[in-house]
């Protein structure tokens, strides 16, 4: 069943009309995260049934020594994904980033001229040399890019359960993520990356911190893979979901 969340969809009359029958006849509402659970109000039972992921055979084992590669793969919705916050943070730390041979790679589908807007923002901030924008990738190419990166970064203002982060973690790539991604506290607790507040100022500080902690990347990467195997492996998620369905029905 599709979830309508106060944090993720505007509650217009059209949404209410379209989903009215689903909601009224539903035994319960499935939320993708604790934050979504806490911010969903429809007078129905609700439970957390998160996304899962298949753990890949490949694992990140070698990190760059002479340079730093940050990676984002996902939709180019600048507001939800906080890409404006990311670019502002990069601009704020541009001298430090250049000095430490660091570059940010952003991949996403070129829909609704979003790529053009981002390209304009990059140019206005004079960070063309440290931010590279590319259209979306998938399959083997996506795997290659992931395994060649050092840090996955996502600075969303709000999310359900972002698959891009789960995928990066499953390869053993430490992540720098905001509280808005819903995974921040879990990743921080698992020592699988860094959590930051959802502001450009805090993201800038976190970027500097990540770059200065190269000695921790490998350990955090190993923790990242273990964390996903324990919490988001599809076998675990499927078993938990079945048990929840049985309880509800």
Q: What is the pLDDT of residue 106?
A: 97
pLDDT for residue 215: 95
pLDDT of residue 24 exceeding 80, the answer is: no
Distance from C-alpha of 166 to C-alpha of 40, rounded to nearest angstrom:
23
* Stretch among 166-180, 195-209, 224-238 having the lowest mean pLDDT: 224-238
Place of tokens 């939800």: 80
pLDDT of amino acid 50 = 66
Backbone angles phi, psi at 73, to 5 degrees: -130, 125
| Predicted local distance difference test score (pLDDT) of residue 174 | 98
Q: pTM for the whole thing?
A: 0.80
Instruction: Give the pLDDT band of residue 92 (cuts 50, 70, 90).
Output: very high
The mean of the pLDDT values for the chain is: 85
Contact 152, 162 (CB under 8 A): no
Position 29 scores a pLDDT of: 65
Q: Is the pLDDT of residue 46 over 70?
A: no
Structure-model confidence comparison of residues 161 and 247, the more confident one: 161
- Give residue 3's pLDDT band: very low, low, confident or very high (50, 70, 90): very low
CB atoms under 10 Å from CB of 16, counted, come to: 11
125-166 per-position pLDDT tens digit? 999 999 999 999 999 999 999 999 999 999 999 888 789 999
| pLDDT at position 2 | 36
Report the alpha-carbon angle 33-36-37, nearest 5.
Answer: 85
């Amino acid at each position: 069943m599709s979830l309508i969340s106060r944090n993720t969809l505007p509650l217009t009359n059209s949404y209410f009309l379209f989903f009215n029958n689903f909601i009224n006849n539903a035994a319960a509402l499935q939320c993708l995260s604790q934050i979504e659970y806490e911010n969903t109000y429809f007078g129905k039972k609700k439970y957390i049934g998160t996304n899962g992921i298949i753990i890949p055979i490949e694992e990140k084992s070698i990190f760059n020594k002479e340079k730093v590669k940050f990676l984002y793969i996902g939709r180019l919705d600048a507001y939800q994904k906080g890409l404006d916050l990311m670019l502002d943070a990069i601009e704020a730390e541009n001298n430090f980033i250049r000095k430490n041979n660091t570059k940010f790679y952003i991949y996403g589908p070129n829909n609704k001229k979003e790529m053009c807007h981002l390209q304009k923002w990059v140019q206005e901030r004079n960070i063309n040399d440290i931010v590279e924008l590319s259209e979306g990738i998938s399959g083997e190419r996506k795997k290659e890019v992931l395994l060649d990166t050092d840090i996955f970064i996502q600075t969303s203002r709000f999310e359900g359960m972002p698959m891009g982060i789960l995928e990066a973690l499953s390869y053993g790539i430490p992540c720098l993520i905001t509280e808005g991604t819903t995974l921040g506290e879990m990743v921080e607790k698992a020592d699988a990356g860094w959590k930051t507040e959802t502001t450009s100022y805090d993201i800038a500080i976190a970027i500097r911190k990540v770059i200065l902690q190269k000695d921790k990347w490998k350990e955090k990467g190993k923790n990242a893979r273990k964390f996903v195997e324990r919490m988001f492996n599809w076998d675990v998620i499927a078993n938990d979901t079945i048990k929840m369905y049985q309880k509800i029905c």
